[in-house]
Amino acid sequence: MLKIKRVVAVGILVIIPLTMLAQNNTNSPYTRYGYGELSDRSFGAGRAMGGIGFGMRSDKQINPMNPASYTSIDSLTFLFDFGIAGQMSWFDDGQNKENHWNGNLEYAAMQFPLSRRIAVSAGVLPYSYVGYDFGSTQTSADGVYYSERFTGKGGLNEVYAGLSVDIWKKRLSVGLNAGYLFGRILHSQTLTLGTTTTNQSGRNQALQVNDIKLDFGAQYTHRISADGYIISGLTFSPAKKLNATSSDIIVNGNTSDTIQVSNQVFGLPNSFGLGFSYVKQNKLTLAADLLYETWEQVRYFDEKDKFKNRMRIAVGAEFIPGSQERAFFNRVRYRAGLHYSNSYLLINNKSYNEYGASIGFGLPLIDNRSFLNLSFEYMKVKPESSALIDEQYFRFTVNYTFNERWFFKFKVE
């Protein structure tokens, strides 16, 4: 019990600063709409394998994408996982080109068993990012010089606690994540006539979210040989109306007027996940995921036609040349993946698609249980209309998974 209390205390001390230090991880103008850019919720191995997780079980990695996976941990192990991410981004609207650099502390989580059949996990991870700054200067038909500026920042984060139970002979596990979704999103629009701020007007729109979010999961493992098995995974997150408040600040010169907007409805969609993986123990993993979200039914500022249903498909693989060999590069876990998704956003009734490819490496540390995970991803954002912005990203993630036998008792003879 003392060990568990120490685990929880250390986890809280690490997780809370991460929630305060995390910065925006995007400069995309598309984050002006909706809740912004939705985060990839996979950790470590899954991130390098196309962002998969629904059908993944591992005693060496935390996988919050399916809470049923927590029972894969053995009864003597404690896992702690945190990651940092960075990206280079390129934007092209057909006339202008820009590039930006972003980086941030991204997530932290821990996982440990309560018994041979029950395991828990807790952590903090992002749900969405908002970050943009763009504008233009023009001259009206009657010769008046003016400039417009659009900026946004913030996003939503989730602190979760999850429980998983093995309900049938290490074959069938079920799990639940209960998350606290919180965050503030701020959008600003400024119009300046001439070159002085006294001729400046604008609007600052703020959205504050504080609510509970539930994720359910199940996994079934079917053994096909002594060291080979197939895992099927299902997840479901129910749609809900969010506990959210919004306000508008109207700026006119040196004066401002704050308007608290009431009776506005904000929501989240039903989310369905399906995943499969084939595992040859300590040698090979092949996996595929399908995600479907019903964003068309979601209200945002009490309007229903802001979004479109979203689908994401991902495939990935991991290969280990020799997990028990002395040679370091034979013990490295080599990973790769592909993914495709359409955006949930609608901009003038148009949207965009995302195409991505990733590679990565799981570098074993001295104890051969803990890992330093590296992933590198290229992603292309292809809009449905030439009037929208073309985006490209190169992303990398550094993830450290600490694996320790904290619950093992040595016998003294």
Confidence at residue 14, expressed as pLDDT on a 0 to 100 scale? 53
At a CB cut-off of 8 Å and minimum separation 6, what does 124 contact?
Answer: 15, 18, 19, 107, 108, 109, 157, 158, 159, 160
Tens of pLDDT, residue by residue over 344-366, are 999 988 999 999 999 999 999 98
At 228 the pLDDT is 96
Which of 41, 244, 208 has its CA nearest to residue 127?
41
Q: Using 50, 70 and 90 to split pLDDT, how confident is the model at 24?
A: low
- Tell me, what's the pLDDT at 410? 46
- Range 225-234 average pLDDT: 96
Q: Are 382 and 352 in contact (CB under 8 A)?
A: yes
Cβ(22)–Cβ(13) under 8 Å? no
For the domain spanning 2-404, the CATH number is 2.40.160.60
pLDDT at 404: 83
Query: How does pLDDT run across 145-171, given as a tens digit for each residue?
Result: 778 888 999 999 999 999 999 999 889
| Maximum Cα–Cα distance across the chain | 95
Residues of 368-390 as b/e, b for ≥16 C-beta within 10 angstroms?
A: ebbbebbbebebebebeeeebbb
